[in-house]
Amino acid sequence: MSIQYQGHGHKEHILHQMAPSHTQSLKSTRDHIHHLCSKHMNQHIRVETIDGDVFEGIIVQCDRGILYLKQPIEGGHRAFGPNYYNNVILPLVLYELLVITLLYI
């Protein structure tokens, strides 16, 4: 959803506008990764982001540029008792993913 301002006397100054070639490249990368993740739904993977963060988990959903990775909680218990919210779903932005490795466990 986008919001457009009309009139109202607001002045605007664009701080950043992505070059059209970069936009197309990011869309292409996002679509490619989305296709790969959709093919490997419910499989265990390791993900490395462009910032060097590494996560492991199971692909539970891939939607609108976001990969949802289920990660078990260490110890397996939360404040509400055993087996209640024992997994965390981590959303990751597809175009920030550098490496996705399929793990055979």
Residue 60 Cα to chain centre, angstroms: 11
Residue 93 Cα to chain centre, angstroms: 3
- pLDDT value of position 37: 93
- pLDDT value of position 85: 56
**pLDDT higher at 105 or 33:** 33
- pLDDT value of position 10: 78
- pLDDT value of position 33: 92
- pLDDT value of position 90: 93
Taking the alpha carbons of 26, 27, 32, 34 in that order, is the dihedral positive or negative? positive
How far apart (Å, rounded) are the C-alpha atoms in residues 8 and 13?
A: 15
* pTM, to two decimals: 0.72
Domain boundaries, the chain: 41-102
Which of 8, 58, 53, 62 has the alpha carbon at shortest distance from 32? 62
| Phi, psi for residue 4 in degrees, rounded to 5 | -115, 135
Tens of pLDDT, residues 34-90 = 999 999 999 999 999 999 999 999 999 998 889 999 997 765 555 555 555 567 899
Cα torsion for 77, 81, 85, 88, to the nearest 10°?
A: -20
Tens of pLDDT, residues 7-17 = 566 789 999 99
41-102 belongs to CATH 3.30.70: no
